Amino acid sequence: MSKFSLFKAAIFNIGVLAASWGAAGAQPFTLTSDSFKDGGMLQTKNAGNIKTNPNCIGENVSPELKWSNAPAHVKSFVLVATDWEGQGGLGSHHLVTYGIAPTVTGFAEGELSKASDKFVGGKETAGTAMYRGPCPPVGSGLHHYLFNVIVTDLEPGALPPGLTRDELFEKLKGHAKGVAGIVGLFGRN
């Protein structure tokens, strides 16, 4: 089993554990998309559109994402997306958002591509506070874009804007209470 498959299995198991905190027989906490299926291809329009980068061939339209069966004790959500094959294997973070109210159950297509009062923008790898679509180099194979929604016990306004993924995860220690994930693929050979 590949390192990525083991990681994905661990994320799934954490999500199942988090869902078990609810009532007996409750459905698992899940993240889904009508834009792509788990393990399926992201669309070209979901790719980045940085004109100075020839690998960015898309329109930077964030995919639709929705979650269901969150644990009852949720106070806010975090939504992040990472390409672990990016930057030659060091990882590239494409979305860092948090402070999402417990009443929010997802984002429409394109909604994460622009500022919104529904989330606090952190800093993805390139430094923007919203979604940045895939721009993998030609010939680097398919990249796995892991989208995670994390349940927290923090109030929506508890964290300042502009946190990097690593800074955010440091502040979430002891406050992350469950996760659901989905993987989208993108690449050009």
pLDDT digits (tens, 9 = 90+) for 125-145: 999 999 999 999 999 999 999
| Residues with pLDDT less than 50, the chain | 1, 3, 5-24
pTM, to two decimals: 0.86
Percent of the chain predicted with pLDDT > 90: 83
**Fold of the domain built from segment(s) 3-186:** Phosphatidylethanolamine-binding Protein (3.90.280)
The tens digit of pLDDT for each residue in 106-115 reads: 999 999 999 9
Assess contact for 124 and 98: CB atoms under 8 A: no
Q: Which residues pair with 144 in a beta bridge?
A: 185
Please tell me the chain's helix, strand, coil percentages from 3-state DSSP, rounded to the nearest 5. 20, 30, 55
3-state secondary structure of 17: helix
